[in-house]
A and B are shown apart, each in its own frame.
Chain A
Amino acid sequence: MTQQKPKIAFFDFASCEGCQLTVIDSLQTNLELLNAVEIVNFREAMSEKGQDYQIAFIEGSCSRKSDEARLQAIREQADIVVALGACAHLGGVNAVRNRQPLEDVRTYVYGNKADWYETYPARPISQVITVDATIPGCPIDRDEFIASVKMLLQGRIPKLPETPLCVECKLLENQCVYTMGKVCLGPIVRAGCKAICPSFGDGCEGCRGLVSEPNMESLKQVMAEHGMADQDISHKLDLFLTYQMMNLENEEPK
């Protein structure tokens, strides 16, 4: 059976490119992937650029007007668009600014050069273009990346895991961090990272996003009972989840 290898491309928007580094990392242990696909655009790993690709992996949030045209151009070219990592999926840490007045944020970051830089509230790329699949996480999990690519090659669309992190954490027989006086967003966050933070004794910060039916009120109550002030709870939920939280609260970015 001879078949043309699908061409894949990577693009980055507002992000740290850590997810693309994880891709490179995952290639090292999965060299067969390079036989299965042809990478035509990958700034992190190569200099030549091809513009005919079928699968586009996009890292980063949409954080300024000019991003929109670039996203749309990718969408037009690609058969399949995959959001890669928390920034593309959720707006990521970039969306923390959405709760603050934009002018203040610009001045804080760029000082007296604020006017030189265009910016607006950070958004998941799905708010600008149709996204076919998402690989969540900050950074992404390399095994999940490989599994997702295999599914795409099979013509299937990988779905976001619906199980909460607690399931994965318990399967690994971790001691719950709540019993160590820490708090954790595990009950409302999607599994798939091998519960890496609780496995190292830290609470989950929510980088993989909310499950589709999070019981926010009950978890806030649990965190409060574990000694967290309301404001600290909000901060905890706003590290990776600002965009989702503002949506749940029907809040508009300032």
Chain B
Amino acid sequence: MGFRVMPKSAFPGWVEQMLQTYRVVGPRKIRDRYMFDEVNSPGDLDLTYSTTVLPPKKVLLPQHEELLSFDLESGKMEAAIDTQPTVLLGVHTCDLHAIRLLDAVFEDGYADQHYIARRQNVLLVSLECLSPCTEKSFCKSMGTLSVTEGYDLHLTDLGDSYAIDIGSERGQALLELTENAQPATDADYSRLNQTLSDKWPRFPYRLESDITELANLLAVSYDSDLWEELGEKCLGCGSCTIVCPTCYCFNVIDEVDFSLNAGSRIRQWDGCTLSQFAVVAGGHNFRSTNQERQRHRFFRKGKYQMEAYGLVGCVGCGRCAEACLVDINPVDTFNELSRRRIPMTRRHKEVLP
């Protein structure tokens, strides 16, 4: 649909316009960290943010979400469906890739009506990263440092203006809220190209193998000693899975009022690195050690998601690495597995006479 260019001076006015019709959620600085939060005025937004503690996933899949309310006395039951029109603004490309995975997961099989209702009413305005958000990120290695689809609008900072790529008709309509987005001129195009080509060398490749190799690397590393080493270090604190944009596991509980007959069914985040995650009826825990839980986590990130949906299960955002007190993270884990990879020749020798 072609690029538009909007001077930065017009940006607050555009956000004001959005606020007339939409809930606007974007990165805000609160004390020393950034978080995605509802904004009340354009000044609340800070698009220069590095990263956030929790990913923008929380807008689509809230940490604590009412699924339905019930009253056993009257037999009434009502699904809680949130259709509030929302603009999710300033989503970095890694997180956009993660949302694509969430879409695939929640639309698959028995589609999740709560997620889908929210998703259909959320417009995604993504933002190109021009320098690494943290030292721990490795998006370039995971192929998530750019996007070509999945957004309604995509912004690139050109210094005094934003280049805006229109990704959908809804995005186009959102952009029409302002009169200050003009079709890009040749000069704008060359500035955009320069900006984009300047950005890549600023990002390191941190993964020593190719992402297409990861599934296979993990497959031959199921019995690696590394899992035991990680298991010994891991605190089981669950932080890594809670902060991850591609994690979506949840638990469901009922909360009742004092009548004991009426209440709500609540969904809340859970995570596979937590000790009780795999406890089933009868009390058996089918992943009872940190070692097994870490292996499972990294198999999800590097193998299972790729095989199930053809999308990367880790988008390299580095949030888990920031959160982990014992320095366990995907990139070091994959690299270490790669170094320790049992050479096929040796494996063959073991089976062949």
Contact = CB atoms under 8 A, between A and B. Distances in A.
B191 to A, nearest CB: 36
Contacts of B239: 166-167, 170, 187
Interface in B276-316: 276, 290
B146 interface: no
Given A150-B260, A167-B271, A178-B325, A218 B242 contact: no
Contacts of A180: 32
Contacts of A147: 255
A20 B119 CA distance: 45
Interface of B: 31-33, 35, 52-54, 63-64, 232-239, 242-243, 255-258, 260, 269, 271, 274-276, 290, 323, 325-326
B236 A213 contact: yes
A215 B31 contact: no
A150 B236 CA distance: 30
A171 B35 contact: no
Contacts of B256: 150, 154
Nearest to A151: B256
Contacts of B234: 215, 218
Contacts of B260: 150, 153-154
Interface in A149-203: 150, 153-154, 162-164, 166-167, 170-171, 173-176, 178, 180, 186-188
Nearest to A162: B276
Contacts of A150: 256-258, 260
17 contacts: A150-B256, A153-B260, A162-B276, A163-B276, A164-B236, A164-B237, A164-B238, A166-B235, A170-B53, A171-B54, A171-B242, A173-B33, A173-B52, A175-B33, A211-B236, A215-B236, A221-B326
Contact of A219 (B31, B235, B257, B271): B235
Contact of A176 (B64, B233, B323): B323
A215 B235 contact: yes
A162 B238 CA distance: 11
A167 B242 contact: yes
A212 interface: yes
Interface string A20-33: 00000000001011
A35 interface: yes
Contacts, number: 91
A108 to B, nearest CB: 36
B255 A35 contact: no
Q: Which 4 A-B pairs have the closest CB atoms?
A: A187-B237, A166-B237, A32-B258, A187-B235
A187 B242 contact: no
Contact of A170 (B243, B276, B326): B243
Contacts of B257: 32, 150
A187 B273 CA distance: 12
A211 B242 contact: no
Given A164-B235, A219-B325, 15 more contacts: A33-B258, A150-B256, A153-B260, A162-B275, A166-B239, A167-B274, A170-B53, A171-B54, A173-B53, A175-B31, A186-B237, A213-B236, A213-B275, A215-B234, A221-B326
A26 to B, nearest CB: 12
Interface in A1-50: 30, 32-33, 35-36
Contact of A35 (B243, B258, B290): B258
A222 interface: yes
A173 B274 contact: no
Contacts of B276: 162-163
Contacts of B31: 175
Interface residues of A, number: 33
Contacts of B35: 173
Contacts of B54: 170-171, 173
A125 B256 CA distance: 30
A175 B53 contact: yes
Contacts of A170: 53-54, 238-239, 242-243, 323
Given A147-B255, A150-B260, A212 B275 contact: yes
Nearest to B243: A170
A150 B326 CA distance: 39
A32 B256 CA distance: 13
A181 to B, nearest CB: 12
A176 B237 CA distance: 12
Nearest to B53: A173
A154 B257 CA distance: 11
B53 A222 contact: no
A36 B271 CA distance: 36
A171 B63 contact: yes
A65 to B, nearest CB: 37
Given A33-B258, A171-B242, A175-B53, A222 B275 contact: no
A211 B53 CA distance: 24
A157 B290 CA distance: 28
B73 to A, nearest CB: 9
A167 B32 contact: no
Contacts of B255: 147
A154 B256 CA distance: 10
A213 B292 CA distance: 14
